[in-house]
Structure 1
Amino acid sequence: MDIPAVPTKVDPGALTAVLDGRWAGLRREVRAQMAAEDFSDPANLDIEAHRAQVLENLRRLARTDQPGLGFDVAYGGGNDVGGSVTSFEMLGFGDLSLMVKAGVQWGLFGGAVQLLGTERHHEKYLRGIMDLSTLGCFAMTEHGHGSDVQNLHTTATYDPAAREFVVHSPDSGATKEYIGNAARDGRLAVVFAQLVTGGESRGVHAFLVPIRDADGTPAPGVTIEDCGRKAGLNGVDNGRLTFDRVRVPREALLNRFGDVAEDGAYSSPIESDGRRFFTMLGTLIRGRVSVGGSAGNATKRALALAIRYGEQRRQFKRPDGDEVVILDYLGHQRKLLPALAKTYALHFAQEELVSKLHDIPSDASEEEQRELEARAAGLKAFNTWHATRTIQAAREACGGAGYLSENLLAGLKADTDVFTTFEGDNTVLLQLVAKGLLTQYKEYFEDLSPLATARFVAEQLVGAVLERTAARQVVERLTESDDGDVLFDREWQQKLFEDREEHVLEGVANRLRKAADDPFGVFNAAQDHVLRAGRVHVDRLVLDAFARAVSSCEDAEAKALLERVCDLYALSAIEEDRAWFLEHGRLTASRSKAVTAAVNGLCAELRPHARALVDAFAIPEQFLAAPMLLG
């Protein structure tokens, strides 16, 4: 095959145009606004000063049109869901405490009021939420229940005589914990609680509960505690909330998916309590999408700092006496360039996800909604795990300089660490991805009689021997060819990922077919396999998204460079999972060695373009002002 040569020099602006994508105009606008603001790094601030600075910056942000982008035009919003998420993601270039506090106020709190409430709530609250006259909290997580939202302990019991709900924390496990905006600034909270009416529990619903009066005094029956200093994000005032028989009016119920009449009668457009619960949560995925994108931008910032430093810092001499810049060493390139390639890949996958979120119709089928939720879950996990690993690698790549707070990487490490477990624990999210994939095997799980089980196994064997998938056939044909450049064949790369996904998923389904005998035991024993299924599925989605972005690139020089960056992403991912590909006969030993050689070669080939690739992120220079960089 003919591998196009990378141009000697590529304009970073041409790459930025590709990266900025559908919301390019908005990205330019947000960058200009960020560049016009004075940025004060919070490294030397105490908690109270940091919180005050973040609130002031939030008020500045409220004076722009960004916070309203995701809200209804009827209340002063912009009806631009994708633009709203994109603008939140852009905050990931700066102080991540501001991004999180903005996400709590406008994404979680405001989003819950908009998406779970009805016109009476919209009319009363949305304008105040947008302009910050109503500061709020999103009170879901409890001390005893984080990911298992369906079994929260907080109750909201309807009193028909008073036409009120009584919100109560029955035990210490029901304490609402880690609630952003609760410790200092919040006045109103969306509280998730078990709705009880007529002596019957109807599952988790959301209620608007005042937690402070206008002077900041806790409301009667509400106890507020400060979570105190955290490992990072100390500009966010996380707090704990408990409720002692707090009464709120019947209208405090956010009643889009379930309502209670004055006499206590419950009604809902969704009959099943379980299905209603998952539909409610499914509407709130914007926060999860935004966290993933913000983590991606924090990763870009770390890579920009590390690669700039790597082009300046010199260590040891060549035979001719000149000292070598550390980015010229293969070992240093290996730390940063595959991570940079994956950052590009995740960027394009995130861009596709935001477009899907923006375009999904209000009457989307349950299948469409679940597919979107699964994709959001998988990419949030991948983006945040990648941020954790890459920011650590960037810190190491900058040595002792990277450990100094003034050089920004230490703060990025601390602030992004929790991203892997908030807005959904990543391990749980990958299980959600796998669960969605396994629905295609539903017919086998519905009838687990001995005859059905035998048929399932027989079909698996026949499929393995006689009916190999089209993806497997392409992989075998190209892998066994004499073409030494097959590793750079995009079809081979994509089919290899696709084939791995199909094989792993079939294996999981096969292991779970006995779940009727011991559902928990069988699932628990196969959990590693389930998580792998989710992981390889997202791997495939990310590579496909990158390939589509490259093929649609109109600038020839940018396209040629992105082709090689995409190769580095694909081959470094294959190298990382070489054990599986070797064990399952998808790579020969010689091909496996060739993959490592190809990754090394790509690192050398992309080394001259490393600065252009990070400059293309167009991060405002004030956010890269680290003393370790010479200018």
Structure 2
Amino acid sequence: MPSLPADVDPRTLTPVLDGRWAALRAEVRARMAAEPYRDPVGLAVEAHRALVFDQLQALATTDVPGLGFDKAYGGGGDIGGSVVSFEMLGFGDLSLMVKAGVQWGLFGGAVQLLGTRPHHERYLRRIKDLDLLGCFAMTEHGHGSDVQHLRTTATYDPDTAEFVVHTPDRAATKEYIGNAARDGHAAVVFAQLITHGEARGVHAFMVPIRDPDGRAAPGVLIEDCGPKAGLNGVDNGRLAFDHVRVPREALLNRFGDVAPDGTYSSPIEGDARRFFTMLGTLIRGRVSVGGSAGSATKRALTLAVRYAERRRQFAKPDGEEVVILDYLGHQRRLLPALATSYALHFAQDELVAALHDTASDAPQEEQRRLESRAAGLKVANTWHATATIQNAREACGGAGYLAENLLPGLKADTDVFTTFEGDNTVLLQLVAKGLLTDYKDAFQNLSPLATARFAAERVLGAVAERTAARKVVDAVDRLTEGDDREALFDRDWQLKLFQDREQHVLEGVADRLRKAGPDPFAVFNAAQDHVLRAGRVHIDRLVLEAFVHAIGRCPDPGAKALLERVCDLYALSNIEADRAWFLEHGRLSAGRSKAVISAVNTLCAELRPHARTLVDAFDIPEQYLAAPMLDGDAG
């Protein structure tokens, strides 16, 4: 394994991190750096909301909001650039990122992706320019992740050519709706469409919620959710509807339409298939949440690493106090997390490119694969953010607990990321079920019984694939027998180990589910832990492969050598965290398992001199790192 250069310029790493949208990232950074900024520490809720609204208006004067909209309506036609720009907002006040995401990503995105030309012509420019502020009203008090069974109804009245939007009970109240409590004037409301007495599943409707003077529209009940644990610059509210009438044209009718006489039509047969197709178009918000969580995590790690390079604790025998990042325990706290942030960044970059390049009319299998990938990386990014920001806070001791040093705000603001735009546990099941069903149309309702039946068909093929993967793993073991260190740093061995783990876990799930009997739900429920693990190890494999791809694109030898070592730390710390599984399933011997621990320690020591380089390569504008605990830092 070649040695690392003594010094690597972070500016050689930044272009690799910035990737395909490097020019846009540089432009957004420059704009952020040119604006006066101070984290909203200690602001009251109303003051914070007003500040964020002012910032939203300033943002509306730039080209960022329109990047994802069609050029015909004043947009940039750059879906990937739109997601990247929201990701960059994650370096600052996350309330602004969320409010912008609600306005232009969710509300505007729903109109763009679920509506048709008349909706686009009527609304998109107004949404882009903030002439129409809106909400994305999906989640209900009684149904969050189970969107298919929302209880709000939209019943068509052919006598007046109107839909009657109604909240039948408390469980159907729309909850946690961004922009609802203060600023929104319209909402895309998801409701069960009923016509001629027949329910046709969940559809989306454009519903006014305030009049021009800002008062609640007739029949619309608006409540303020009040203070939250974080993101208090976002005006979350509750919405309920008492027989609110909207015109037939309020139906966003790309996937389903109602004629004046009430006849329902759709280009997609089957309510379930139509529902999942509709939801599949709305993954942009989920991708943006994962990317913004990654930005917040990078910010926390930068703060923690910089502090760890200046803070001293306890003296060596010669009397000199030790910089805390020189302690192995502190390195283990921060450096594997930093390696994971790099890995997730590259995986996120590949996801954004796939989102950008996938046509709206792409084959269903391709759309499903993209949806699964978006779900999995949202899970990985947001759980990593929650764990790493907490670790960064602890790594900064009492200083990290002071609001002025930014980490408490990051911790509070990102906490909800694990449950909005999809609860992480539910999303992991989506990933695993997608693997089992192979996105076949017949199983798109993802029912336990359908999953179990198809799983049986997968077993023979899975065994063959796993056997091939094991042969490679065993071959590498033989080639490196007696030299555990070299084996552990063999990239092919790492990749095949991740692939083999994924295939074995998936095969195990399939084997358990094929035993479905008279109660398929009980069978599926009993295997849920196994299902969740299948989703998680699949994501781990995708992330490692993305890191390897990124290294191949790095032109600078020194930067490439450093990235190779960071990739080793990501792979081996992941293996270390799952050593029990690898030991139980015979993938690691006891000796090699111990060698993994030693290798992680070695990597932490080797990367310690480069920790500052690695965080500086994120190129976060310095004003977003203005924590008093770093006063005097050279930047």
Q: Same fold (TM over 0.5)?
A: yes
Identify the match of residue 169 of structure 2 among 171, 178, 186.
171
The verdict on how the C-alpha distance between 1:362 and 1:588 changes in structure 2, with shifts beyond 3 A counting, is same
Q: State the match for 1:496 in structure 2.
A: 497
- Given that 2:466 and 2:500 are in contact with CA atoms closer than 8 Å, whether structure 1 keeps it comes out as no
The answer to whether 1:201 aligns with 2:199 is yes
Identify the match of residue 416 of structure 1 among 406, 414, 419.
414
Alignment of 1:293-308 (within 5 A): 293-308=291-306
The answer to whether 1:607 aligns with 2:608 is yes
User: Over aligned residue pairs, what C-alpha RMSD do you find?
Assistant: 2.0
CA distances 1:91-145 after superposition (whole Å, capped 9, x unpaired): 0000000000000000000000000000110001000100101000000000000
The answer to whether 1:477 aligns with 2:475 is yes
The answer to whether 1:51 aligns with 2:52 is no
The answer to whether 1:624 aligns with 2:625 is yes
CA distance in 2, matches of 1:196, 1:214: 30
- Given that 1:330 and 1:600 are in contact with CA atoms closer than 8 Å, whether structure 2 keeps it comes out as yes
CA distance in 2, matches of 1:345, 1:177: 34
State the Cα distance separating 1:534 from its structure 2 match: 0.3
CA distance in 1, matches of 2:49, 2:465: 61
CA distances 1:525-546 after superposition (whole Å, capped 9, x unpaired): 0000000000000000000000
Q: State the match for 1:557 in structure 2.
A: 558
CA distance in 2, matches of 1:300, 1:463: 37
The answer to whether 1:546 aligns with 2:547 is yes
The verdict on how the C-alpha distance between 1:346 and 1:457 changes in structure 2, with shifts beyond 3 A counting, is closer
Q: State the match for 2:578 in structure 1.
A: 577
CA distances 1:428-460 after superposition (whole Å, capped 9, x unpaired): 0000000110024989999x99xx99x969975
CA distance in 2, matches of 1:280, 1:440: 19
CA distances 1:277-319 after superposition (whole Å, capped 9, x unpaired): 0010000000000000000000000000000000000000011
Mean CA deviation greater in 609-618 or 34-43: 34-43
SS state at 1:622 partner: helix
Q: State the match for 2:354 in structure 1.
A: 356
State the Cα distance separating 1:363 from its structure 2 match: 2.1
Mean CA deviation greater in 50-59 or 473-482: 473-482
CA distances 1:502-559 after superposition (whole Å, capped 9, x unpaired): 0000000000002242111000000000000000000000000001101221111100
- Given that 1:145 and 1:173 are in contact with CA atoms closer than 8 Å, whether structure 2 keeps it comes out as yes
Amino acid at match of 2:599: A
CA distance in 1, matches of 2:48, 2:143: 29
The verdict on how the C-alpha distance between 1:409 and 1:463 changes in structure 2, with shifts beyond 3 A counting, is closer
Structure 2 gap ranges (5+): none
Identify the match of residue 265 of structure 2 among 259, 264, 267.
267
- Given that 1:457 and 1:510 are in contact with CA atoms closer than 8 Å, whether structure 2 keeps it comes out as no
Q: State the match for 2:331 in structure 1.
A: 333
- Given that 2:462 and 2:503 are in contact with CA atoms closer than 8 Å, whether structure 1 keeps it comes out as no
CA distance in 2, matches of 1:14, 1:350: 20
SS state at 1:240 partner: strand
Alignment of 1:122-133 (within 5 A): 122-133=120-131
SS state at 1:90 partner: helix
Alignment of 1:18-97 (within 5 A): 18-97=16-95
Alignment of 1:435-454 (within 5 A): 435-440=433-438
- Given that 1:312 and 1:630 are in contact with CA atoms closer than 8 Å, whether structure 2 keeps it comes out as no
Amino acid at match of 1:603: C
Q: State the match for 1:522 in structure 2.
A: 523
CA distance in 1, matches of 2:18, 2:417: 24
State the Cα distance separating 1:609 from its structure 2 match: 0.2
The answer to whether 1:236 aligns with 2:234 is yes
SS state at 1:363 partner: coil
State the Cα distance separating 1:153 from its structure 2 match: 0.3
SS state at 1:64 partner: coil
CA distance in 1, matches of 2:566, 2:456: 42
State the Cα distance separating 1:476 from its structure 2 match: 1.4
CA distance in 2, matches of 1:468, 1:352: 26
Q: State the match for 2:536 in structure 1.
A: 535
State the Cα distance separating 1:170 from its structure 2 match: 0.3
CA distance in 2, matches of 1:476, 1:458: 24
State the Cα distance separating 1:188 from its structure 2 match: 0.4
CA distance in 1, matches of 2:337, 2:426: 24
In the superposition, the TM-score normalised over structure 1's length comes to: 0.96
- Given that 1:504 and 1:533 are in contact with CA atoms closer than 8 Å, whether structure 2 keeps it comes out as yes
Identity of matched residues, %: 77
CA distance in 1, matches of 2:410, 2:439: 42
Amino acid at match of 1:434: A
CA distance in 1, matches of 2:570, 2:468: 23
CA distance in 1, matches of 2:381, 2:467: 30
In the superposition, the TM-score normalised over structure 2's length comes to: 0.96
CA distances 1:20-68 after superposition (whole Å, capped 9, x unpaired): 0000000000001111111121111100000000000000000000100
Q: State the match for 2:101 in structure 1.
A: 103
Q: State the match for 1:595 in structure 2.
A: 596
- Given that 1:479 and 1:587 are in contact with CA atoms closer than 8 Å, whether structure 2 keeps it comes out as no
The verdict on how the C-alpha distance between 1:227 and 1:463 changes in structure 2, with shifts beyond 3 A counting, is closer
Amino acid at match of 2:399: A
Q: State the match for 1:405 in structure 2.
A: 403
State the Cα distance separating 1:468 from its structure 2 match: 5.1
Q: State the match for 2:344 in structure 1.
A: 346
- Given that 1:512 and 1:522 are in contact with CA atoms closer than 8 Å, whether structure 2 keeps it comes out as yes
CA distance in 2, matches of 1:241, 1:66: 29
CA distance in 1, matches of 2:269, 2:439: 25
CA distance in 2, matches of 1:429, 1:458: 22
State the Cα distance separating 1:361 from its structure 2 match: 1.6
Amino acid at match of 1:373: E
Q: State the match for 2:511 in structure 1.
A: 510
SS state at 2:630 partner: coil
The verdict on how the C-alpha distance between 1:558 and 1:463 changes in structure 2, with shifts beyond 3 A counting, is closer
CA distance in 2, matches of 1:63, 1:16: 28
CA distance in 1, matches of 2:393, 2:458: 52
SS state at 1:350 partner: helix
- Given that 2:369 and 2:439 are in contact with CA atoms closer than 8 Å, whether structure 1 keeps it comes out as no
SS state at 1:161 partner: coil
Identify the match of residue 247 of structure 2 among 246, 249, 263.
249
Identify the match of residue 134 of structure 2 among 119, 131, 136.
136
The verdict on how the C-alpha distance between 1:14 and 1:459 changes in structure 2, with shifts beyond 3 A counting, is closer
The answer to whether 1:430 aligns with 2:425 is no
CA distance in 1, matches of 2:442, 2:377: 29
CA distances 1:166-223 after superposition (whole Å, capped 9, x unpaired): 0000000000000000000000000000000000000000000000011110000000
CA distance in 1, matches of 2:616, 2:214: 45
- Given that 1:444 and 1:513 are in contact with CA atoms closer than 8 Å, whether structure 2 keeps it comes out as no
Structure 1 gap ranges (5+): none
The verdict on how the C-alpha distance between 1:374 and 1:463 changes in structure 2, with shifts beyond 3 A counting, is closer
Amino acid at match of 1:505: L
Q: State the match for 2:114 in structure 1.
A: 116
The verdict on how the C-alpha distance between 1:532 and 1:172 changes in structure 2, with shifts beyond 3 A counting, is same
- Given that 1:346 and 1:542 are in contact with CA atoms closer than 8 Å, whether structure 2 keeps it comes out as yes
CA distance in 2, matches of 1:371, 1:467: 20
- Given that 2:368 and 2:439 are in contact with CA atoms closer than 8 Å, whether structure 1 keeps it comes out as no
SS state at 2:310 partner: coil
CA distance in 1, matches of 2:278, 2:542: 26
- Given that 1:105 and 1:136 are in contact with CA atoms closer than 8 Å, whether structure 2 keeps it comes out as yes
SS state at 1:361 partner: coil
The answer to whether 1:182 aligns with 2:183 is no
The number of residue pairs the alignment matches comes to: 623
CA distance in 2, matches of 1:286, 1:160: 35
SS state at 1:231 partner: coil
